[in-house]
Amino acid sequence: MRILLVEDEYDLAQSTRKFLSENGYDVDIAENLRIAWESVQSIEYPLVLLDRRLPDGDGLSLIVKSQKLDPVPRFLVLSALGDLDDKVAGLDIGAHEYVVKPCAPKELLARVRVMLRLPRAVNMGCVEVGALRFDLASRVFHVGDKTVELRRYEYLILELLVTNAKKIVRRSKILDRLYGFDEVPASNTLDSHVSRLRTRLRDLQSGVKIQTARGLGYLLREEE
């Protein structure tokens, strides 16, 4: 079984490779994101062990880029960044596991075995409008390497608009998506949700805007 280890600390990379090799795994090493990205494009690794603090950026960016691959590699993040927010960011962006360094070799080996038993995701593709990207498999929005956090109604509206990009989505369709049969929203409720979503997209520098089609609904377009 061939694994990719993305780690720039030479001694740690070599000792991890030696330990995993002694337990039946072939380990390739990439010391930066550029080499790692070239590697996962050319070799179908079932598992990538990924550090975050790399010479050319945050390792999480590799997870985002790799969602375009088919099948998508499993990612186990090994990082000294161990705060709760760090872990949540890694898992939200697509890591399958997040382990704080230093990690006992036997624990790492056990986690590798568990990870390799997990099914691999099939890439369903993504929709990109401006700098906004929507992963169809995970149903997560990204702008660059950042995961976009939205309120429930704003998320549902944006999901409809982005999957129908450059098409008018009727108000009635959006309202049906947001509310049940027994709910009667105020007449300006949808406009309020859209207004907040517009502000959020602008603050994120998403490169998209929501255009009003008077009397019909809304459509999502790239900013000119």
Rounded distance, CA 224 to CA 176, Å?
A: 31
Domain end point (choices 76, 98, 117): 117
Same domain, 102 and 143: no
Same domain, 101 and 19: yes
pLDDT number for residue 123: 55
Say how many C-beta atoms besides its own lie within 10 A of residue 127's C-beta: 16
Same domain, 132 and 107: no
pTM: 0.57
Residue 72, domain extent = 2-117
Total domains in the chain come to: 2
pLDDT number for residue 180: 60
pLDDT number for residue 92: 84
Say how many C-beta atoms besides its own lie within 10 A of residue 169's C-beta: 21
Residues 6+ positions from 141 with CB-CB distance below 8 Å: 132, 133, 134, 135, 147, 148, 150, 155, 158, 162
Same domain, 110 and 157: no
* CA gyration radius, the chain: 21
Domain end point (choices 62, 89, 117): 117
pLDDT number for residue 181: 52
pLDDT number for residue 164: 87
pLDDT tens for the chain, 224 residues long, are 899 999 999 999 999 999 999 999 999 999 999 999 999 998 989 999 999 999 999 999 999 888 778 778 899 999 999 899 999 889 888 888 999 999 999 999 999 999 888 766 555 678 889 999 988 777 889 998 789 999 989 999 999 999 888 889 999 889 888 876 556 677 688 999 999 999 999 999 999 999 999 989 999 999 87
CATH number of the domain where residue 189 is located = 1.10.10.10
